[in-house]
Amino acid sequence: MQYETLMPLLRRLALEAGARIMDIYDAEDFEVKTKSDSSPVTEADEAADALISAGLRAALPDMMLVTEEQAASHSARGDTFLIVDPLDGTKEFINRRGDFTVNIALVEKGVPTRGVVYAPAKKRMFFTLADGVSVEETGAFDPEVIGETRPIRVTEPDNGALMVVASKSHRDQATDDYIAQYAVRDMTSAGSSLKFCLVATGEADLYPRLGRTMEWDTAAGHAVLLGAGGRVVRFDDLTPLTYGKEGFGNPFFIAYAPGVELKKAG
């Protein structure tokens, strides 16, 4: 895999998809439909998916591609592939809350090794460089030229005063009960894969997810967190969260800075 050409491609496609999403987001109204699993999908999801998929297939025609909006891709099998959520946080988009992202990742042998997370409404862009180190880009976000970047790194947590991030749309009692086992200094909420990025930048120490997610929801944020020194483990046995599972569903998981003293499930 030529990471030196892959990462500028993923970044450019994320920016172009983000621009298309914002065109629709800023319109007076947009169409919302319901998928077979009862989840919402908008014309922005579909437009971003078409743009990203076309770009990836043109550049990497032989690479397995899994994308949320193309059900036919969900039957693919392999441990090395590209995986896309063209608009992660559709409910945030519909409610115009801004916490939605474009997620594109490369999974190799079950591990998300490279990825980009772009939050166009928040004007935040996180991605892994060719060497796997994660950065946040600031500036005008020119699709053709990478602007100023800063390396990001997980914090060295104080287990007596942890900063916890949780889902904005999917908080439940089980999550709150688990978080209650820790000494928490403060909590914040965020939508979509931004939660992984907040741990990656040191803005949070711990992100537990006790709810259903799919691999396309998590792979890009997971890659960014790994490139910043973080970890993501299964909630049940604290082994690393892997990718390429049948159906691409995830178990419950915990994303965290390595210094956090994890509590046992249940």
Annotated binding site for substrate: 68, 87-90, 217
Beta bridge pairs of residue 224: none
| Residue ranges of the binding site | 68, 85, 87-90, 217
Cα separation, 118 vs 112, in Å, equals: 16
Q: What are phi and psi of 134, to 5 degrees?
A: -90, 145
Cα separation, 204 vs 105, in Å, equals: 22
Put residue 123 in one of left, alpha, beta given phi > 0 → left and psi -120 to 50 → alpha.
left
Q: State how far the alpha carbon of 206 is from the alpha carbons of 5, 6, 158, 162, 178, in Å.
A: 32, 30, 11, 8, 11
Q: State how far the alpha carbon of 78 is from the alpha carbons of 74, 224, 243, 248, in Å.
A: 11, 22, 9, 11
Task: Transcribe 80-95 into DSSP letters.
Answer: SEEEEEEEE-HHHHHT
The sign one gets for the Cα dihedral 3, 56, 42, 213 is negative
| Residue ranges of the binding site for Mg(2+) | 68, 85, 87-88, 217
| Cα–Cα nearest to 191, from 96, 127, 100, 90 | 100
